[in-house]
């Protein structure tokens, strides 16, 4: 019964055949229940009378033959969290690990939301190491089909996401950005950052200073790191009132990656090797993650998370909702009415539209 209800709701976004839609719903429930993406464990958690071996083959067929529309997934996230026509803080980052000799390398674009990042678009890179400018441009072009540049408050990125061609393209698209740069980057084409600011006092900082970098005029802000003995230098194409405070939002994508991995779904346990299948897995994880977070927000409004003595919440909203869904799925009969309440969070009243 749980699977039928969830399957029907998911089909408002994805027009799958019923067997595929049911398997999709089974995967989401199983991922939350067993806290892993490993197929063997997922097969044991399917709510069906079939043998685990049959469920395992069903999962294999799902990832072999089904491909998601990435725009449908992004539209779903935008609709569920009410992001349409709002000013969005986007973050760009990359996560990678090795499975045997295979490098799994994912370039991810997210939006900041209540202390964590929500996934919007991604690309699995067919290589190891950093992304290049064409790969980043391709990713941003895809999200611009759903979100207009006027609705992007800022695009945040670490030291990997820099370069003359890259920031020139962002300027041409009228996309505000805020990126950290390496301390060996040449300012005014002459001196590296660390030499330029070597006499900067640890208690002082530079904010929105105009300077030439890569033959372009940018606004530069720098200060000494409070935790590490190094300069933190960020550049932008706009004057931001609090550039360092805004840049800290970038860490929300790291929190999201943690939820996909050890703190949630153990993404790195996957044995998938084909890029298209890994991207399908990310789509399923996105729905499971977003549902968990929505449940956490709803439950927080009902029973607030306890605050510890150091002033931080005992649980994140994601973890609060994730644990709630696990409790429901492990007691499906007793908690059916609660399940109906939580699954309604995935219902939208109108078709998702472009921001």
300-333 pLDDT, tens digit each? 999 998 888 777 888 899 999 999 999 999 988 7
- Structural domain range at position 196: 180-225
Q: Is residue 323 part of a domain?
A: yes
Q: How far apart are alpha carbons 186 and 189 in whole angstroms?
A: 5
Which of 192, 225, 258 delimits the end of a domain? 225
CA-nearest of 133, 135, 112, 136 to 250 is: 112
Which of 225, 252, 281 delimits the end of a domain? 225
Phi-psi region of 5 (alpha: psi -120 to 50; beta: other; left: phi over 0): alpha
pLDDT score at 355: 41
The three-class DSSP label of residue 123 is strand
| pTM recorded for the entire structure | 0.92
Q: Is residue 265 part of a domain?
A: no
User: In this structure, is the dihedral angle defined by the CA atoms of residues 26, 28, 29 and 33, taken in order, positive or negative?
Assistant: positive
Q: Is residue 40 part of a domain?
A: yes
Same domain for 282 and 342, yes or no, is yes
Q: How far apart are alpha carbons 332 and 182 in whole angstroms?
A: 52
Q: Is residue 61 part of a domain?
A: yes
CA-nearest of 312, 311, 313, 289 to 303 is: 313
pLDDT score at 336: 87
pLDDT tens for the 355 residues of the chain, in order: 578 899 999 988 888 888 999 999 999 999 999 999 999 999 999 988 889 999 999 999 999 999 899 999 999 999 999 998 899 999 999 999 888 778 899 999 999 999 899 999 999 998 888 999 999 999 999 999 999 999 999 999 999 999 999 999 999 999 999 999 998 898 888 889 888 887 788 778 889 999 999 989 999 999 988 766 788 999 999 999 999 999 999 999 999 999 999 889 999 999 898 999 999 999 999 999 999 999 999 999 999 988 887 778 888 999 999 999 999 999 887 888 999 999 999 987 554 444 4
Q: Is residue 89 part of a domain?
A: no
CA-nearest of 264, 281, 268, 255 to 122 is: 281
Number of domains within the chain: 2
Same domain for 279 and 339, yes or no, is yes
Tokens of 165: 């061609």
pLDDT, tens digit, 9 for 90 and up, residues 232-272? 999 999 999 999 999 999 999 999 999 999 889 999 999 89
Q: Is residue 190 part of a domain?
A: yes
Q: Is residue 51 part of a domain?
A: yes
Distances (CA, A) of 167 to 125, 178, 179, 233: 21, 10, 10, 16
């Amino acid at each position: 019964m749980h699977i039928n209800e969830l399957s029907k709701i998911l089909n408002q976004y994805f027009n799958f055949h019923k067997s595929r839609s049911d398997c999709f719903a089974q995967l989401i429930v199983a991922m939350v229940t067993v806290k892993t993406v490993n197929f063997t464990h997922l097969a044991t958690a399917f709510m069906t009378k079939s043998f685990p071996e049959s469920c395992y083959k069903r999962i294999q067929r799902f990832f072999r033959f089904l491909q998601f529309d990435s725009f449908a997934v992004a539209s779903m996230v935008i609709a569920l969290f009410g992001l349409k026509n709002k000013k969005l803080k986007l973050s760009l980052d990359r996560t990678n690990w090795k499975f045997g000799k295979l490098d799994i390398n994912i370039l991810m674009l997210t939006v900041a939301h209540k202390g964590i990042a929500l996934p919007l678009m991604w690309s699995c890179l067919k290589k190891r190491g950093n992304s290049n400018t064409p790969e980043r441009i391709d990713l941003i072009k895809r999200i611009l089909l759903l979100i207009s540049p006027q609705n992007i408050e800022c695009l945040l990125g670490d030291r990997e996401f820099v370069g003359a061609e890259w920031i020139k393209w962002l300027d041409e698209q009228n996309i505000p950005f805020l990126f950290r740069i390496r301390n060996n980057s040449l300012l005014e084409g002459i001196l590296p950052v660390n030499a330029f600011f070597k006499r900067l006092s640890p208690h002082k900082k530079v904010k929105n200073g105009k300077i030439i970098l890569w033959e372009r005029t940018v606004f530069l802000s720098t200060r000494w790191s409070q935790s590490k003995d190094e300069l933190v230098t960020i550049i932008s194409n706009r004057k931001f009132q609090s550039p360092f405070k805004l840049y800290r939002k970038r860490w929300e994508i790291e929190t999201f990656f943690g939820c996909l991995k050890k703190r949630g779904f153990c993404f790195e346990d996957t044995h998938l090797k084909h890029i298209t299948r890994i991207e399908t897995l990310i789509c399923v994880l996105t729905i499971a993650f977003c549902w968990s977070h929505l449940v956490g927000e709803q439950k927080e409004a009902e029973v607030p998370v306890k605050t510890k003595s150091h002033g931080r919440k005992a649980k994140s909203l994601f973890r609060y909702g994730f644990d709630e869904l696990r409790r429901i799925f492990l007691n499906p009969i007793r908690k059916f009415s609660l399940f109906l309440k939580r699954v309604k969070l995935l219902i939208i009243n109108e078709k998702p539209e472009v921001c």
